[in-house]
Structures are given as C-alpha cells and as structure tokens.
Amino acid sequence: MAVASFPRTVAPLRILTAVPVCDGHDSAVTTINIELARHGLEVIYLGYHQSASAIVRAAIQEDVNVVGLSSYNGGHIVFFKEVADQLKKSGNGDIPVFGGGGGTITQADARVMKRQGTDRIYFAGTPLAKMMGEIKRAYARAAKPNAKFKGDRALARALTIAESGGKAPAIKRTGPAKSFVVGVAGPGGAGKSTLIDELTSRFLRANPTGRIALLANDPSHPDSGGAILGDRVSTIYAQDDRVFFRSLATRGSLTGLSAAAPAAIDILKASGEFDLILVESVGVGQESDPFRIFGKSPKLVDATLFVLAPYYGGLIQLQKIALLNGADLVALNKCDHAMALTAKAEIQARLNQNGKGQQLHPTTAAKHFDPGVDALFAAIAKLGDLPLSAGGEKACQMEVRS
C-alpha cells in the first residue's frame, strides 16, 4: 500500500518503541520501526532489554504520543501493567501503551492486559497496513500547553510545541544553573553518540548534584517525513534521572540540526536546571556548519567539538573539512583502530596549520574509563568553568585506575 494513502498530520506522530527486560528479540520491532517511519511517524527506539522505569523516563522526556512494546519473553501481563502503572503514578497517564508479541500473547492475555491499562494488542498475522492506519488514527493528537505537567514533562512539552512551530509556553526557572552548551559534530560513524554517553558518565561522577541535557538530532526521511531516532540505543548513562535526553528530527532542515534546535537550547537554558547541554548534529559533510561558528550569525553554542574516526579517507579529505578550522575541541575517536596512529599525526598536523593552538584528543569511547575521554571531559569542564564537587575529579581518577 502506498505511503501517500495515509493522511499526514501537521506534526509527525512520535512513538517510543522498546523491548522489555530479559527479552533480546528485536527483529520484529525493527521491522515495525521501519514501517512506522515509512508511513511518516517519528520513531524513538530505545532498544531491547529495557526496564519499565527506563521506558517511562524516555516516554516522558520525549513527550511521545504513545509507547509501543514488543514482547516475546512471556512476561507481558506483568510488564505492560508496570509500564502503564508507572506512567499514571508519575502523572503521565495520558501516554497510552500498546504492543504485540507474536504468538506469545493470547487473546485471554490481551483481555487481562486491557483491564490493567494496555490500550490494544496486535497479534501475529495482523497486516502492517492495518496496524499503521490504526496507530495514526488512534494516537495522533496536537501538542498543547498543559499546566498540569511538571518537571521533565513540562520541559518536554515545551520542546514539542517549539518543534511544531508554535510558541512554547514560558519556562519557570527551577534551578540556579548557568548552562554551558557544547555542539558535537562529525561524520556519520565517528561514534559521536557513544562519546557523548561517556562524557555524560564523567559529568555525573564529577558533579553529583548537577544535571546534563542531551539534544540528539537525526535526519527525517525526505519522502515520507518519518524518522528513526535511534541515539538512545547507544546510551547507558542516560538512564539516570539527572540526564534529560531529547531526540529531534530535522523535518526538512538541511543544516544538520532541527529548525527547532535554537529554541530547544533556549528552553533548556531558561529552566536553570542544566550545567551542561550537549547538542549532537546529524552526520555532517565537509562544508557543514550546524552551529554557526562561521559568519555573522550568533553562534548556537558556547563551544564546538568535532569528532573524527581514523578512516576519513586521507590528507586531502582533512584539508576539505571546514569545521577543523573553527572547532574549539577536536577528538579522534576509535583510537583502537589500526589506522589511528597515522590519523593522529595527520590530524594534529592539520590543526597546527590553523595556528590556533588546537589540541587533538585521542579517544576510544567504546572502552569504559578511557583516559582520552577523561582528558576531553577535563578540557570541556575548563572551557565551561563547570562546577565540580570537592573530590569529584579524584573519585573519577580512582575509578579509572580500578
């Protein structure tokens, strides 16, 4: 069935999909994710083996229209109820839950689950076209201000309204923090999301009372308008309540960021809750400048981190990358790769040509407690004058040595 046969909403419907804890079967949900995006929905995929609390936290921060769960491990009656109960208990019971589980969820199970708060269950053999049509009709709704929303949900709704082109409600300042904003850019596959997650872990250890916000931009499909926003899959440390994580789709913006990104940054800064805000662009090309570090326009961020992997293609490619001229911080990630030694020398030589004293930070973000990531975080903290608790840095160093 053609995608065009389904009416498009003004703003794409946002759906969080996930697979419950103790369940590693993600082939079905991957198929559903692709189909949802093909029909114009924005899919925030959390991954498999996810706890109820992680799913609820993500649903609140992403301000999704609905949560869709794929369960094949046989614990569906208990797990779906737990997700629905936690949403209600946290004051976010307006977010419905639906799901499916092939042959593991019976008709009798489904009746019990509906009484416990699950909105609907899809069984094996349900045509995808029927499923897509019902999801769009049942769960599409306009995002409006809601005075009952508190905390992260209030922030999330303000971001949703800004994404939709509306005037976001004024954010009540609830914290004293002065935010330092770092834009993170680099080509696709450089490991930006994993590096951001490791930087998040350093922040959480170094500042036991502060909060950090992550804005992850992913591309919308130019045909359907849908998107698979998958940066949460790469995160471990975002499961902390002191982390606010929001996925943004570009929705036709060709800058490497959502058109709503500037407003989103302002909203997060205005809350006073976040000491550090990391903004990840989509994978950028050689002439990209997503954070406006060149030209006369005001910069979107306080500092820019450019991330490369060792397999960038050779010296001529380095010479073409404009962001290497203006980035405040440059990281060569995946330094466990065989090409890393040569890449370090070539990139540092390229930076030396700029005459700005730029230092290359070699990192291996896939390795926990990497000393290179420690040094990179220290450089960010110095630039941003980030508050560090007494003993915070020492505790971090002790953890690395262990």
**pLDDT tens-place string over residues 201-241:** 999 999 999 999 999 999 999 999 999 999 999 899 999 99
The structure tokens listed for 104 are: 């593991």
Task: Check if the beta carbon of residue 22 is closer than 8 Å to that of residue 75.
Answer: yes
Is 1 domain-assigned? Answer: no
**345 and 231 both lie in a single domain:** yes
Is 278 domain-assigned? Answer: yes
> What CATH number is attached to the domain comprising 58?
3.40.50.280
What region, left, alpha or beta, does residue 360 occupy, with left being phi > 0 and alpha being psi -120 to 50 degrees?
Answer: beta
Q: Which one is predicted more confidently, 395 or 88?
A: 88
Model pLDDT, residue 388: 65
Model pLDDT, residue 10: 59
Percent composition of the chain: helix, strand, coil (DSSP 3-state, to 5): 40, 15, 45
Burial class (CB in 10 A: 0-12, 13-18, 19+), 186: buried
Most confident option among 17-26, 52-61, 164-173, 252-261: 52-61
171 CB contacts (<8 Å, ≥6 apart)?
154, 155, 158, 267, 270, 271
**In 226-296, where do the E strands start and end?**
227-229, 243-249, 276-280
Task: Check if the beta carbon of residue 71 is closer than 8 Å to that of residue 102.
Answer: no
Model pLDDT, residue 401: 29
Model pLDDT, residue 393: 46
Residue that terminates a domain, selected from 88, 116, 139:
139
Q: Is the pLDDT of residue 319 over 60?
A: yes
Question: Is the full-model pTM beyond 0.85?
Answer: yes
Task: Indicate the average pLDDT of the chain.
Answer: 90
> What CATH number is attached to the domain comprising 267?
3.40.50.300
Q: Which one is predicted more confidently, 389 or 314?
A: 314
Rg from Cα positions in the chain: 22
CA distance linking residue 125 with residue 358, whole number of Å: 58
Task: Check if the beta carbon of residue 217 is closer than 8 Å to that of residue 278.
Answer: no
Residue that terminates a domain, selected from 139, 154, 187:
139
Instruction: Please give the torsion angle defined by the CA atoms of residues 275, 284, 343 and 368, in that order, rounded to the nearest 10 degrees.
Output: 40
CA distance linking residue 71 with residue 90, whole number of Å: 23
Is 158 domain-assigned? Answer: no
Q: Is the pLDDT of residue 314 over 50?
A: yes
**210 and 324 both lie in a single domain:** yes
**96 and 245 both lie in a single domain:** no
Q: Is the pLDDT of residue 282 over 70?
A: yes
CA distance linking residue 265 with residue 282, whole number of Å: 16
Model pLDDT, residue 1: 37
122 CB contacts (<8 Å, ≥6 apart)?
98, 99, 100, 131
| The total number of structural domains that make up the chain | 2
DSSP 3-state of 305: strand
401 CB contacts (<8 Å, ≥6 apart)?
none
| Residue range of the domain that includes 302 | 172-401
Q: Which one is predicted more confidently, 318 or 392?
A: 318
Q: Quick one: which of 323, 300, 287 has its CA closest to 192?
A: 323
**133 and 198 both lie in a single domain:** no
Query: In 233-275, which residue ranges form alpha helices assigned H by DSSP?
Result: 261-271
**262 and 134 both lie in a single domain:** no
**255 and 337 both lie in a single domain:** yes
Mean predicted confidence (pLDDT) in 20-45: 91
Mean predicted confidence (pLDDT) in 138-165: 93
Is 161 domain-assigned? Answer: no
Residue that terminates a domain, selected from 87, 116, 139:
139
CA distance linking residue 235 with residue 365, whole number of Å: 12
**pLDDT tens-place string over residues 3-20:** 333 334 458 999 999 999
Q: Is the pLDDT of residue 390 over 70?
A: no
**63 and 131 both lie in a single domain:** yes
Q: Is the pLDDT of residue 402 over 70?
A: no
CA distance linking residue 328 with residue 358, whole number of Å: 7
Is 376 domain-assigned? Answer: yes
**22 and 124 both lie in a single domain:** yes
**251 and 193 both lie in a single domain:** yes
284: confidence class by pLDDT, cuts 50, 70, 90: confident
Pairing of strands 303-308, 276-280: unpaired
**52 and 195 both lie in a single domain:** no
**75 and 206 both lie in a single domain:** no
Task: Check if the beta carbon of residue 168 is closer than 8 Å to that of residue 266.
Answer: no
**pLDDT tens-place string over residues 325-373:** 999 999 999 999 999 999 999 999 999 999 999 999 999 999 999 999 9
Distances (CA, A) of 202 to 3, 131, 287, 375: 44, 42, 31, 10
Is 155 domain-assigned? Answer: no
Is 144 domain-assigned? Answer: no
**117 and 221 both lie in a single domain:** no
Model pLDDT, residue 340: 96
Is 178 domain-assigned? Answer: yes
